[in-house]
Amino acid sequence: MEPFFPELHPNPGWHDSCQSNDIETLHINSHENMGRHCILELYQCDRAKLNDEAFIRTTITSSAKISGAKLINLVTHSFHPQGVTGLALLAESHISIHTWPEIGYAAIDVFTCGDHTMPEKACKLLFKDFVAEHFSFKNIAREIPSGIQNLHREP
């Protein structure tokens, strides 16, 4: 059996992935926008942690806190024979984690709105907590469309 099945994900990231010591270089985008959506893929993770629902609940909670977000609700589900999905509803948006322990892979989204959160910090913590050897990271600015930038918004 092969250790990794690229057909499970359209871009497994091996060619674009970074080594574990590159995690500190994640770029923090400070442009004016509605929020930032970080997409983190982790490879060659600790397989036991990927399959541990309690661990995933704890690491999602910790990553929300370190990012400066407010956790509203947390839902997790353990699949059989393996894998866990976790979804955190944040006041600022969400964090989601989907794991495939059989291949050592985790797909993670951290989306936060506002200028007081730092989703990149959450990604760094998740990378370290899952003991990943490789990662792929994308930081997407969720920009305000030019047609509505000047509209008055009530808080």
Q: Which of 9, 62, 96, 98 is catalytic?
A: 98
Q: Is there a catalytic annotation at residue 93?
A: yes
Beta carbons within 10 angstroms of residue 53's beta carbon:
16
Task: Determine which one of 17, 63, 67, 93 is catalytic.
Answer: 93
Answer yes or no: 113 catalytic. Answer: yes
Per DSSP bridges, beta strands 18-19 and 35-43 are unpaired
Helices 53-67 and 119-129 cross at an angle (nearest 10°) of 150
Strand order across the beta sheet in which 71-78 lies: 18-19, 134-142, 35-43, 105-113, 93-100, 84-90, 71-78
Catalytic residue among 17, 113, 134, 136: 113
Per-residue b or e along 28-44, where b marks 16 or more CB atoms closer than 10 Å to that residue's CB: eeeeebebbbbebbbbb
* Catalytic residue annotation: 93, 98, 113
